[in-house]
Each structure stands twice: as C-alpha cells, then as structure tokens.
Structure 1
Amino acid sequence: MQQLKIFSLVLLFLLGSLASATASILEDASKYAVRIKTSISYPFFEDEAGVSNGAGFLVDKDRGWIITNAHVSGRGTGTVEVLFKDNDFQEAEIVYVDPELDFSILTVKDIPDSALVAQLDCKTRRLNGLEVAAFGHPHSLYFSASRGIVSKVRFYEGHDWVQTDAAINPGNSGGPLISLDTGLIIGINAMSLKDSEGLNFAVPMAPVCKSLELLKNNFNPSPPLLPLSFASDNVAENYLIVAGNRLGKLSEGIQIGDEVIAVNGIEISSPTELATELRGKSGNAEFTFKRGETKIKGTVEFSPKSKITERQYLMVDGGLIAEDIYPERFVQEKHYMFHSVRKGSYAQRIGFGKGEVVLTIDGVKPTSIEHLEKLLSGEGEKEIITRHWSSIDELFYDYFKIDYEPGFVRSYNVP
C-alpha cells in the first residue's frame, strides 16, 4: 500500500510538471506570435482580393523578421499589418515570398521589448508521434492553441508537409506548430483538408531555416528551376522518378524512369528535400540516379526561380498583367497573363478574365512589361488577341479578339 501511495505521488508530480512545462511553452508563444491583417485589391494569380487575417511569429529581433504563410501575406500588391500582443497594428514590408512553398518573410520596425524570438527546429528528422500545439488566432480567438500529434512528414500535391491532427482553422494560418517536448517550432500552420477531420498540414522548417540563413548572407534563397519533371509512385513512396524534361531533351545519360537518390552527394527522398539542398546555388549539380540495381551519376544544369519580390506588373483599367504563372510555359512562349481582373472594372466589361494570356496587340507580340505598356498606351483603339483554356473541356485553347480603348495603363514593381 505504501508503495502504491509513493507511485501515485510521483505520477501526480510528473503530470504537474508536464502541465507546467506546456503552460510555459504556450506563454512564450504568445510573446513571439503575431496577428497579421492583409488587404489586397488587385491580386496576383496565386492570391485573392479582399481582407484576410492570419498569424506569424518573430524569428529575428534585430532585423524585425516575421515568418508567415505566403497566402496570408500575399505576394506584394496589398498592404500588410502586424500586431504583437497588447500592442497596436503596424505596417509591415515583404522581404521574401517563396515561389514554391507556402511561406513568406515580413519585416517590421517596432518590436516590443517584451517580444521573444521563436526558436526553430531546423533539423530534418522523423516527427512521427510528436506532441504539438498549433498556435494562432482561430476564428478570432486570439493567441490560442490547439493540441495534437504529428502523423508524419508527408509528400502531398508536389511538396513535403508536416501532417498533424492539431486543429488548423481560419486564423491559424502562418502561426507556429510547436513541439510540446522541446518548445521548438517544427512547422508553419498552413491548411486543412476540406470535409475532413484531423487532416491538417504545416510547412516543414528545414527549407525555411535554410532560406533565412541565405537571406542573412545576401544570397537568393529561391528554389531551383529544374529542367526535370518527376513522376510519383505513391504506393512505394518514390517521388523522384524522372518523367521527362520540361524544357527540351533530357541531359545525356539520363533516362525516363531513373530515380533520383542523391544530389551533390546528399541523400534525398522528395522534391522538397532536393530543392532545399539546391537553394542558394546555380549552375550545375551532380545527381545520383538509381536505374534498376545500378547507380548512375549525371550533371543537371539549373538556375534559381525568379524572385516574387522582383516581379514587374502592369495595371490595365482594373486588370493586373504579369508573367505567365506557369514557369515552364513562360520559358518556352514568353507570354504575359491577366493575373486578376477586378469585378465591375472596364477590363472585365470588355471581356478580359483571370488566366487569359495576351498573344498580340495590333499584331505585335509583347516581349516585356515595358513593351506591353508601350503597346497598350496612347490614343486609338487596340486590337488584342488573347488565349484562354477552353470553356468546354479545358484541354484546348479558345482564342479571343478584344477591342480595347486605352484608359489607365501603368507598370509597377513589387514594393
């Protein structure tokens, strides 16, 4: 009986210690987490017009850097405001938006003395079964957390995600996914699957951490624009099977069906791991392929993807035009696309729509945003030929001729 009492007391002590540790971790989170409010009138293709709310967290006090989701901050055409707990909103500027994963980095000028810097878990490791808390502002319940576990780091829709059953609701996006064992951040809350329960996803920290370090050293952290395209075998969990070359012929010695197993001598198992290894680099990389039971080495030439923060765009009477959103198509065809068209605008009234590609203006193909601005400016009606996915089966293109009387036409750079 005495032994049972001692065991019970020890168990109560341990449970109390765990509860106290969790409370401390969440208290710290309220000091590095922020609210983010974004307003966008003329969005890029990936964004939506309107006002949105989300979360973020402070990662560098000296630089004022805050991490959030790209879908929370937008990609540079809106206004972004940030609020630390018990403080007022202040305007933020975008430092970096990733062109592949759902994260961005903001900067603000005024950091409260009470603010803490979030500690990040930058290691690539197994997270299966880890207890976590998704911190943020779900449904306007500010600075609150939901608890759960990590299922695994899962490949889904082309990228790696941290899958968790910790609830990620509207307002949680951009907030930290926190390990309740260490207090370190293992992911950025991003999304949940519709019509499901317990299927929530966060951006893993390894590529985010590498991007932060590259930015601090004035390197471009953008992922590589690879000529290779990959097929996935979801049953065998092989996601780097060469399916072809997006831009032409495969490099000498590489065959369709080869599986990438390493790059520059580093073993990899997913496109995200591959891209993370090549962030901050350009030129040639040594790939190791598996073909049957044989390992083969080959050289692949690549360059970084374009920085979203250096995008040029053109405002045309309520429409926003920029480079084609599909990189491989832009490389081949060099067309410019309507990323958005404001409802009720002149651009919408005469027939322009989101996703429409500009082919020619009075028979001339635009070669740059500056050239496009010149072709659309001035007096007199312009004959514009555009192309869009077919409204019938989305397999073929429909072509349109639109007569346009120039009004407001002006080019911009993302701030």
Structure 2
Amino acid sequence: MEDPLERLGSEGVSGLESSMKELSMEIDPPSKENLATAKDWRRTLDKVIPAVVVLRTTACRAFDTESAGAGSATGFVVDKRRGIILTNRHVVKPGPVVAEAMFLNRDEIPVYPIYRDPVHDFGFFRYDPGAVQFLSYEEIPLAPEAACVGLEIRVVGNDSGEKVYT
C-alpha cells in the first residue's frame, strides 16, 4: 500500500505545510478593525427586518415522493418594485402551492411561485407590491460576490410562523 505522503512528490510534508500556509493566508480571519459592533448590527437589523416575511404555504401532493400539507417558512424581499421574495426551494414546492406572505406589520398578501431552482436551494415568489400599504420597507439586495469564508453573519427568521426573530 502506497504511503499517502509519497504521493506528494519530492516536496513531501514540507510542501504540504507550505500549501496549507498559503491557503490559510487566503482565508484570514477578520481583523479587529473590520468587526461589526453591536450598534452596527442593530442598525442593519432595523433596516432589513421589515423586508423579512413569514411565508405560509398549503400544497397538495405534487408527486408520489412529496407529501401534502401546510407549513411556514422565512423569505425576504429582493425586489420591491417587482414584488419578488427569495426563499428556499422546498418552500416554493415542485407542484401546485397556495401561499401568503405576512409582513412585519401583519399584512397578509398572496404570493405566487415564479421559480424553483432545480439544483440550488432557492426559489422565488411574486407578490403585488401595491398590496403592502402600511409598512415602510426596503429590499435586501442579492450580493453573492460579497460572500466569503469567515464573514460574520446574523440570521433573521420566524419561529413557527409567529414572528420575526434575530
């Protein structure tokens, strides 16, 4: 049986250590200067929480491997002008679904599935932006290029469809 270290070639363990050191330099932990403070997080949360919705869905049995039922999930507004909410793929469902979004002010509006990604875990619902009359909210823009290893994040969602928690 071949020694795994022999497969590294003439560089051996020192070559592996060198490669690992280079990789760790690329994935540096955040420095003290760029850490968000509690005040920064509170300001951000105050801005984004109104764009987070509770999604309530009811679906029939779409296929023999899927179950019928009702459930709740979290989504967030990514396009306020066109009325588009991003959520997980399983929430949008592979078959017919009746759904509504409940905003922070308890406005409940119907939403309609427009896309369910076949590979990645996301889907979109559409709603009528004019139906949200008494809530001031902003969209949460998508920025996949900003995602990186070691980035500090916060999760905002609902607890069994009742209210938004951070």
**1:99 maps to which residue?**
118
SS in 2 for 1:115: coil
SS in 1 for 2:38: helix
**1:53 maps to which residue?**
72
Quick one: distance in 2 between partners of 1:47 and 1:64?
28
Aligned residues: CA RMSD: 2.2
- In the alignment, structure 1 segments of 5+ residues that lack a partner are 1-13, 146-415
Higher-strand-fraction structure: 1
Q: 1:69 aligns with which of 88, 93, 99?
A: 88
Quick one: distance in 2 between partners of 1:45 and 1:96?
21
The AA in structure 1 aligned to 2:157 is: G
Quick one: distance in 2 between partners of 1:46 and 1:34?
28
**1:128 maps to which residue?**
149
Asked whether the 8 Å contact 1:67–1:103 carries over to 2, the reply is yes
Q: 2:132 aligns with which of 84, 103, 111?
A: 111
**TM superposition shift of 1:119:** 2.3
Higher-helix-fraction structure: 2
**1:187 maps to which residue?**
none
SS in 2 for 1:53: strand
Asked whether the 8 Å contact 1:64–1:111 carries over to 2, the reply is no
Scaled by the length of structure 2, what TM-score is found? 0.69
The AA in structure 2 aligned to 1:80 is: A
Q: How does 1:128-277 map to 2 (within 5 A)?
A: 128-140=149-161, 142-145=163-166
**1:21 maps to which residue?**
40
SS in 2 for 1:132: coil
Quick one: distance in 1 between partners of 2:65 and 2:49?
30
Asked whether the 8 Å contact 2:52–2:74 carries over to 1, the reply is yes
Quick one: distance in 2 between partners of 1:41 and 1:128?
39
Shifted more, 37-46 versus 47-56: the winner is 37-46
**TM superposition shift of 1:21:** 0.9
- In the alignment, structure 2 segments of 5+ residues that lack a partner are 1-32
Asked whether the 8 Å contact 2:78–2:86 carries over to 1, the reply is yes
**TM superposition shift of 1:52:** 0.8
**TM superposition shift of 1:102:** 1.6
The AA in structure 1 aligned to 2:139 is: V
The AA in structure 2 aligned to 1:86 is: N
**1:180 maps to which residue?**
none
Are residues 46 and 68 of structure 1, via their aligned partners in 2, closer, same or farther at CA, if it must alter by over 3 Å?
A: farther
Asked whether the 8 Å contact 1:33–1:84 carries over to 2, the reply is yes
1:335-384, Cα deviation, whole Å (9 max, x unpaired): xxxxxxxxxxxxxxxxxxxxxxxxxxxxxxxxxxxxxxxxxxxxxxxxxx
Are residues 45 and 135 of structure 1, via their aligned partners in 2, closer, same or farther at CA, if it must alter by over 3 Å?
A: farther
Q: How does 1:323-362 map to 2 (within 5 A)?
A: none
Asked whether the 8 Å contact 1:43–1:78 carries over to 2, the reply is no
**1:200 maps to which residue?**
none
Quick one: distance in 1 between partners of 2:157 and 2:44?
14
Quick one: distance in 1 between partners of 2:123 and 2:164?
20
Are residues 83 and 73 of structure 1, via their aligned partners in 2, closer, same or farther at CA, if it must alter by over 3 Å?
A: same
1:124-178, Cα deviation, whole Å (9 max, x unpaired): 75x2222111110134452112xxxxxxxxxxxxxxxxxxxxxxxxxxxxxxxxx
Asked whether the 8 Å contact 1:30–1:85 carries over to 2, the reply is yes
**TM superposition shift of 1:82:** 0.8
Are residues 65 and 38 of structure 1, via their aligned partners in 2, closer, same or farther at CA, if it must alter by over 3 Å?
A: same
Q: 1:88 aligns with which of 74, 84, 107?
A: 107
**TM superposition shift of 1:42:** 2.2
The percent identity for this pair of structures is 26
Asked whether the 8 Å contact 1:38–1:74 carries over to 2, the reply is no
**2:62 maps to which residue?**
43
Q: Which has the higher contact order (CA 8 A, sep 6+)?
A: 2
Quick one: distance in 2 between partners of 1:114 and 1:95?
24
The AA in structure 2 aligned to 1:39 is: T
